[in-house]
Amino acid sequence: MDNISQISEEERDILQEIMNIAFGKAAADLAEIINIFVVLSIPDIKIVMAEDLPGYIKEEFSEFGNISIVEQNFWGEFKGSALLIFPADSGKELISLLGDNDEPSYEPQSSDILESETLMEVGNILIGACVGKVAELLKDVVTYSPPRVIIEDHPSVSMPKTLFDPSNAAIILKTVFCFNERNVNGFLFLITSNNSVSWLKKALVDFMEQYE
């Protein structure tokens, strides 16, 4: 049974607020480490069929040429995939934030590695803080797969079948953010599988109980 379609308007609002708090924490963590100001947006929540996820992501980024994706899966009661997506070349912009500008320039090959490592580092901080905060607020503990960087010519994402049954729906929590000083926009998607929904609905009720 597809539980996601039973998510009420109020449950969506609670989830949106939790995402807002979680991303605020993630931005603050990142700002502390690399001294950058992150402009936050209002999170958006969408429900799509898991089989349509790659198409959804592709459509969202159709205006960009290449994109860089940092992907990390997480498991707890709250389980799914986190995707941090940047337009291509954002990694190079971010390198200067994380690295020492006085360093000698890198050879082309090591520059690619450096870009990949930078994206992985930024992704690790943002995804870890964001997913961790959602889990903390909902009294869950999650474990993570190592982050993976994918640089795509044509935006497409294959969702792990172990997490997403293509015949089920998935919840997409999307936040857009801007690294102000560098004019870099990024997109963070948390995609939770249908398997988490029963737990999620109960956890949202429990979370709000303290505010009754």
Partner 1 sequence: MINVILIVDDSPVSRKMLKSCIPKDQGYLFHEAGDGLAGLEMYKKTQPDVTFMDLTMPVMDGATALGEIKKYDRHALVIVVTADVQVKSIEKVVELGAFLVVKKPPSKENIQDALSKAEEKLR
Q: Which of 3, 21, 66, 178 binds partner 1 (CB under 8 A)?
A: 21
24 sits near partner 1 (criterion: CB under 8 A): yes
Q: Which of 28, 33, 141, 205 binds partner 1 (CB under 8 A)?
A: 28
Region binding partner 1 by CB under 8 A among candidate stretches 6-14, 78-86, 94-102, 105-113? 6-14
Q: How many CA atoms lie within 13 A of 151 on its CB side?
A: 13
185 sits near partner 1 (criterion: CB under 8 A): no
We find the least distance from the C-beta atom of residue 102 to partner 1, in angstroms, to be 25
17 sits near partner 1 (criterion: CB under 8 A): yes
Q: Which of 25, 79, 174, 201 binds partner 1 (CB under 8 A)?
A: 25
Map the footprint of partner 1 across residues 107-166, applying CB under 8 A: 137
- Does residue 155 contact residue 28 with C-beta atoms inside 8 Å? no
* Nearest alpha-carbon partner for 196 in 131, 127, 129: 131
Please classify residue 206 by burial: count the beta carbons closer than 10 Å to its beta carbon, then call 0-12 exposed, 13-18 middle and 19+ buried.
exposed
CA angle 18, 31, 129 (to 5 degrees): 35
- Does residue 169 contact residue 4 with C-beta atoms inside 8 Å? yes
We find the least distance from the C-beta atom of residue 31 to partner 1, in angstroms, to be 4
Size of the site for partner 1 (CB under 8 A): 24
Distances (CA, A) of 98 to 115, 145, 148, 150: 10, 23, 19, 20
59 sits near partner 1 (criterion: CB under 8 A): no
Region binding partner 1 by CB under 8 A among candidate stretches 28-36, 116-124, 151-159, 163-171? 28-36
Please classify residue 94 by burial: count the beta carbons closer than 10 Å to its beta carbon, then call 0-12 exposed, 13-18 middle and 19+ buried.
buried
Q: Which residues bind partner 1 (CB under 8 A)?
A: 10, 13-14, 16-17, 20-25, 27-28, 31-32, 37-38, 40-42, 137, 208, 211-212
